[in-house]
């Protein structure tokens, strides 16, 4: 019975995210000057069910539910939503939901496809490092996802300003500087989180398997991600790669995050494949 | 009471005529006072702006009201009637209501959607209130006009986008930078349009201002006015990297800023975005610099392009606004109708009550003293008879039937109602 309720919550969350994505798209094309809050309210509703789902899974599994692809992807989108709501309420950026909710929905949809049974965490992995490592890693990736969404917004707005073609969408999107600033601040949030995730991961790997670094595909791709974002920050601070270049890099960076997330597990197989 | 607008505007009268009939300064109160004493005009509001002069009036009779107002304008300003008749437009009844709504919502303005007119209309109304020249009728219409204008502002995008060079420049700046007051700005040269745009930026909070001009003294003059700092013209490029916004309008015959020069400037400012507006003709800034990353260059034609799209956008929104005006006219007419029916209903009710009371008195004198119970019963009986009798005609008068005017007439004749007397009793 409890399992069924838990599944129901997941499906409801997925449905609400789908509706929020649709509402976000409508928002892009309609000519009203004030952006409505429908997409935000729909995503908040979905988030409530999503949170219940994650809490139930937490208590059933006894640890943060990220031990199979279904759980990990669902938890990933949950982390993105936390950052999304934070930014939505703090900065009130017009149309943010139109660019973030599609990412959330696609992740949730892939979560829905993966098998859902709760796996027991093998004793070798049971350690408090697990929780810390996982939270850093997922929040870091979520910050990169947000940076990617904001980067897309930047590129669209930049095109309008450069080409002098000021559409309705131009009026509704935030200013270039706002988008660039938030993109930068998300990467300065994501990068230290990723760094901490790698440090805790290395310590945990040593306690679990007795070696710090084993060139596991996940580890390699995490390192590549880390290098990419280190480069983004470095170029910005030294030669002023801001604006358009920073936006493109944050989209490329997130593409690598996504490959590291899905590709490594599904194609390359490594210690992080829990199936 | 009926509603009348007599006036002229930029479409019907050239400025030579408009300035002749304007009610400027003390003339306004004088005009209101004369209209207050007029026998034909019951209520009035006098609106006088540089683009229009209009008298909104509540009159008993449209013909004599129109004539009275025309005569008044002609005499007051000493303008021949035939000149006036050529320029004046007259709107009556629902046409007049439509006109006031359209004026208030800036649908009748030279630049559709510019909001100043609503403020001017409110000022005209304040003057009318001060001189007690309005009554129920114009008060209600005025309030309604303001709310229609506000509804149109919120429900359409009629006033949303910039339609002048300086507004367009600020609008764009706000889409490039998030916080104008923290930005610095350089004015290159001192063309009139550039000055206007500069002033508008400063009004929007930009306070770190640099000014440079080939003629040093002119730069100093402007620096004083804008509370800015003067930069020497021959080395303005060295100072350029401090500026986030540049407005350029020198009389130079060719480019004073090239792509290579700006490329270096951008390096110096670590690629922080720069918004450059070149209002000069011929252009003073190499158009190729728009290809540089984080540089946004707009010339006069680009800004005009922005304005043109905005004006088209406004025209589209104006259609929506006209629909709102139409629906609002309907609701005002309904209110007017109910206003017309109320005196008749009151008169009918008063008449019935009077008959009942006088007949009761007669009966009581005939019957002599009675028990309280009996008196109550008789009161109740007569009340119900009266109410039941006048209920059907009252219901018809309150309804929205098309032939209501006719009904009002019939009821007044059938019951021989004297409306004037009843109304006077009431007030």
Amino acid B252: pLDDT: 83
Which stretch of DSSP H or E encloses residue B309?
helix B300-367
To the nearest whole angstrom, how far is the Cα of B325 from the nearest Cα of chain A?
19
A132 in a structural domain: yes
B126 and B29 co-located in one domain: yes
Of A166, A173, A240, which is closest to B271 when you measure between CB atoms? Answer: A240
A121 in a structural domain: no
How far apart are alpha carbons A84 and B249 in whole angstroms?
Answer: 44
CATH number at residue B98: 3.30.460.30
Place of tokens 């040269």: B189
A218 and A146 co-located in one domain: yes
B198 and B78 co-located in one domain: no
Domain count within chain B: 3
B126 and B243 co-located in one domain: no
Q: Is B157 on the interface with A (CB under 8 A)?
A: yes
B299 and B358 co-located in one domain: no
Q: What is the DSSP string of A62-129?
A: SS-S-SSHHHHHHHHHHHHHHHHHHHHHHH--TTHHHHHHHHHHHHHHHHHHS--PPPPPPGGG-SHH
B22 Cβ neighbours under 8 A, 6+ residues apart: B48, B50, B53
Q: Can you give the pLDDT of all 427 residues of chain B as single tens digits?
A: 789 999 999 889 888 888 889 998 888 999 999 999 988 888 999 999 888 999 999 998 889 999 999 999 999 999 898 888 889 999 998 899 999 999 999 999 888 888 889 999 999 999 999 999 998 889 999 999 999 999 998 888 888 777 788 888 888 999 999 889 999 999 998 777 888 888 889 988 898 899 999 888 888 888 888 888 999 888 888 889 889 999 998 888 889 899 999 999 999 988 899 999 998 888 889 999 999 999 999 988 888 888 888 888 888 889 999 999 999 998 888 887 777 777 788 888 888 999 999 998 898 888 888 888 888 898 899 999 999 988 888 888 777 666 777 777 888 888 888 765 544 443 3
B146 and B256 co-located in one domain: no
Amino acid B250: pLDDT: 85
B329 in a structural domain: no
A122 in a structural domain: no
Backbone angles phi, psi at B315, to 5 degrees: -60, -40
Which tokens is A144 given?
């990169």
Size of interface A-B (CB pairs under 8 A): 59
Q: Is A263 helix (H, G, I), strand (E, B) or coil?
A: helix
Last residue of a domain, one of A115, A149, A183: A115
Amino acid A3: pLDDT: 58
B387 and B288 co-located in one domain: no
A44 and A166 co-located in one domain: no
B323 in a structural domain: no
B178 and B146 co-located in one domain: no
B25 and B132 co-located in one domain: yes
B129 and B142 Cβ atoms separated by less than 8 Å: no
Last residue of a domain, one of A115, A145, A176: A115
The crossing angle, in degrees rounded to 10, of helices B300-367 and B419-426 is 100
Last residue of a domain, one of A115, A139, A167: A115
B27 in a structural domain: yes
B363 in a structural domain: yes
B18 and B50 Cβ atoms separated by less than 8 Å: yes
A110 and A133 co-located in one domain: no
| Residues of B labelled catalytic | 50
Residues of A in contact with B272 (CB under 8 A): 240, 242
B191 Cβ neighbours under 8 A, 6+ residues apart: B249, B250, B251, B279, B280
B139 and B172 co-located in one domain: no
Domain count within chain A: 2
B6 and B89 co-located in one domain: yes
A43 and A164 co-located in one domain: no
A253 in a structural domain: yes
How far apart are alpha carbons A193 and A136 in whole angstroms?
Answer: 5
B198 and B340 co-located in one domain: no
Amino acid B7: pLDDT: 93
CATH number at residue B243: 3.40.50.720
* Cβ–Cβ below 8 Å for A177 and B161: no
A176 and A209 co-located in one domain: yes
A181 in a structural domain: yes
B70 in a structural domain: yes
Which tokens is B343 given?
């005196």
Q: Is B229 helix (H, G, I), strand (E, B) or coil?
A: strand
Q: Dmax over Cα atoms in chain A, in whole Å?
A: 61
Amino acid B420: pLDDT: 57
A266 and A168 co-located in one domain: yes
* Cβ–Cβ below 8 Å for B175 and A175: yes
Amino acid B92: pLDDT: 92
Residues 242-281 of chain B whose Cβ lies under 8 A from any Cβ of chain A: 266-267, 269-273
To the nearest whole angstrom, how far is the Cα of A213 from the nearest Cα of chain B?
38
Of B177, B294, B309, which is closest to A175 when you measure between CB atoms? Answer: B177
Q: Which regions of chain A are under pLDDT 50?
A: 1, 273-275
A265 and A242 co-located in one domain: yes
Amino acid A205: pLDDT: 85
B6 and B132 co-located in one domain: yes
A147 and A275 co-located in one domain: yes
Place of tokens 């095109």: A159
A181 and A253 co-located in one domain: yes
Sheet holding B208-212, edge to edge: B229-230, B208-212, B184-188, B245-248, B274-278, B295-299
A107 and A136 co-located in one domain: no
How far apart are alpha carbons A161 and B105 in whole angstroms?
Answer: 31
B312 in a structural domain: no
A91 Cβ neighbours under 8 A, 6+ residues apart: A174, A178, A182
A107 and A216 co-located in one domain: no
B319 in a structural domain: no
Domain membership of residue B84 as a residue range: 2-155
* Cβ–Cβ below 8 Å for B178 and A157: no
Which residue pairs, CB below 8 angstroms and at least 24 apart, start in B216-223? B218/B190, B219/B190, B222/B187, B222/B190, B222/B195
Domain membership of residue A72 as a residue range: 1-115
A71 and A145 co-located in one domain: no
B354 in a structural domain: yes
Backbone angles phi, psi at B152, to 5 degrees: -65, -40
pLDDT digits (tens, 9 = 90+) for B378-421: 889 999 999 998 888 888 877 766 677 777 788 888 888 876 55
């Amino acid at each position: 019975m409890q399992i069924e309720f838990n599944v129901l919550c997941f499906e409801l969350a997925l449905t609400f995210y789908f509706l929020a994505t649709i509402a976000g798209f409508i928002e892009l094309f309609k000519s009203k000057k004030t952006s409505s809050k429908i997409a935000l309210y729909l995503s908040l509703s979905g988030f409530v069910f999503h949170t219940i789902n994650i809490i139930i899974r937490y208590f059933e599994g006894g640890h943060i539910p990220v031990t199979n692809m279904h759980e990990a992807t669902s938890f990933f989108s949950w982390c993105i939503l936390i950052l999304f709501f934070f930014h939505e309420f703090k900065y009130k950026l017009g149309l943010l939901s139109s660019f973030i909710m599609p990412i959330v929905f696609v992740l949730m949809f892939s979560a829905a496809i993966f098998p859902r049974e709760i796996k027991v965490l093998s004793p070798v992995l049971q350690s408090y490092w697990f929780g810390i490592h996982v939270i850093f890693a997922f929040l870091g990736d979520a910050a990169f996802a947000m940076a990617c969404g904001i980067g897309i917004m930047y590129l669209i707005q930049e095109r309008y300003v450069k080409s002098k073609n000021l559409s309705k969408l131009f009026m509704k999107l935030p200013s270039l500087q706002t988008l660039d600033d938030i993109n930068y601040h998300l990467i300065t949030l994501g990068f230290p989180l990723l760094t901490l995730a790698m440090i805790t991961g290395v310590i945990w790997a040593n306690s679990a398997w007795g070696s710090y670094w084993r060139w596991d595909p996940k580890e390699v791709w995490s390192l590549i991600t880390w290098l990419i974002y280190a480069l983004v920050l470095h170029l910005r601070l030294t030669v002023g790669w801001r604006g358009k270049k920073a936006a493109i890099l944050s989209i490329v960076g997130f593409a690598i995050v996504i490959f590291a997330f899905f590709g490594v597990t599904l194609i390359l197989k490594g210690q992080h494949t829990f199936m | 009471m009926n509603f009348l607008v007599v006036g002229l505007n930029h479409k019907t009268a050239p400025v030579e005529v408009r300035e002749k009939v304007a009610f400027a300064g003390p003339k306004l109160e004088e005009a209101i006072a004369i209209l207050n004493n007029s026998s034909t005009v019951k209520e009035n509001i006098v609106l006088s702006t540089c683009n229009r002069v209009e008298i909104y009036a509540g009159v008993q009779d449209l013909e004599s009201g129109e004539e009275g107002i025309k005569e008044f304008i002609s005499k007051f300003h000493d303008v021949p009637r035939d000149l006036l008749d050529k320029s004046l437009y007259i709107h009556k009844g629902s046409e007049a209501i439509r006109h006031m709504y359209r004026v208030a919502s800036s649908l009748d303005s030279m630049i559709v959607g510019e909001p100043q007119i609503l403020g001017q209309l409110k000022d005209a109304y304040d003057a009318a209130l001060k001189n007690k020249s309005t009554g129920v009728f114009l008060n209600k219409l005025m309030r309604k006009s303001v709310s229609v204008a506000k509804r149109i502002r919120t429900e359409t995008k009629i006033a949303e986008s910039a339609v002048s060079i300086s507004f367009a420049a600020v609008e764009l700046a706000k889409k490039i930078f998030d916080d104008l007051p923290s930005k610095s700005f350089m004015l290159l040269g001192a063309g009139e349009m550039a000055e206007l745009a500069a002033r508008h930026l400063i009004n929007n909070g930009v306070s770190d201002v640099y000014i440079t001009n080939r003629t040093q003294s002119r730069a100093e003059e402007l620096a004083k006015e804008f509370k800015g700092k003067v930069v020497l013209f021959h080395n303005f490029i060295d100072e350029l990297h401090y500026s986030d916004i540049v407005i350029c309008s020198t009389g130079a015959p060719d480019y004073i800023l090239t792509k290579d020069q700006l490329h270096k400037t951008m390096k110096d400012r670590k690629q922080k975005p720069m918004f450059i507006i070149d209002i000069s003709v011929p252009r003073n800034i190499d158009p190729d610099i728009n290809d540089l990353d984080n540089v946004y260059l707009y010339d006069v034609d680009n800004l005009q392009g922005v304005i043109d799209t905005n004006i088209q956008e406004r025209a589209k929104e104006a259609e929506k606004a006209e629909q709102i005006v139409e629906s609002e006219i309907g609701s005002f007419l309904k209110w007017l109708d109910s206003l017309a029916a109320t005196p008749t209903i009151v008169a009918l009710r008063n008449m019935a009550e009077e008959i009942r009371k006088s007949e009761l008195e007669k009966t009581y004198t005939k019957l002599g003293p009675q028990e309280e119970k009996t008196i109550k019963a008789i009161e109740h009986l007569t009340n119900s008879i009266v109410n039941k009798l006048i209920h059907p005609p009252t219901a018809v008068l309150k309804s929205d039937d098309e032939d209501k005017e006719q009904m009002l007439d019939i009821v007044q004749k059938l019951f021989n109602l004297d409306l004037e007397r009843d109304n006077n009793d009431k007030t």
